[in-house]
Each structure stands twice: as structure tokens, then as C-alpha cells.
Amino acid sequence: MRKLEILTDWIENPQEDCCYEELDSIAETLGFSYEEIDEENTLVLPSPEVLAKIINSMKSAEFYHSVIALAGMSLPKEKFSHPPSFSNAAYDFLQKLAEYFAIT
């Protein structure tokens, strides 16, 4: 349940420089969707069980390009180094992310 809350927070509160098209694509990959209610798009969360099933069935590359990418779009840049990219392995970012998950 806590991991669902974390991912939901990341989707709802990305950094200002995030690519929203990519964010929406990742959200959909993780089982989130959007529903129009009263002319506003509202985030619809998957159940914790569905989210766990989706994440557990992901290959390493899928996890990397969804959950790790989402973390890079959402976690504060002043506390985390640059997220992984084609030119940056970002070991420091990944270490900080592991510590973040360990304490939450």
C-alpha cells in the first residue's frame, strides 16, 4: 500500500521540467488511468494487488524505464543526483533511491 502511495505521489507531483507525455505513458504502464469527472481529468489508481502484479511481472528493462524513470521525473533534484540516462549510469541516484525505499 505504501509503494502505491509513493508512486501516486510521484505521478501527481512531478518536477516542473518533466515531460508530461512520458509521465502519462509510465502511469498507464503501471496500471494508472485518467477519468474525466466534471471536465477535469482525475487520476484513477490501480489496486495495490494489481500494481504489485504489474511490477512483479516486469522485466528489468521495463522496471528501469518505468519506475526508475518516474522517480527521476519526480524526486527533488536538490536531494537526488541526476537520474539514469544514456550517458549517465547514475549509481548515486540509484543508491539514494534504494535508501529512500528502505526508510519509507
Beta bridge partners of 101: none
Q: Which residue type, as a one-letter code, is found at position 29? A: T
Tell me the pTM. Answer: 0.79
Give Cα 55 distance to the centre of its chain: 11
Tens digits of residue pLDDT in 62-86: 988 898 889 888 988 888 877 777 6
Tens digits of residue pLDDT in 39-58: 888 899 999 999 999 999 99
72, 93 in Cβ contact below 8 A? yes
Confidence of residue 27 (pLDDT cuts 50, 70, 90): very high
The pLDDT of residue 96 is 86
Q: What value does the mean pLDDT take over residues 74-100?
A: 80
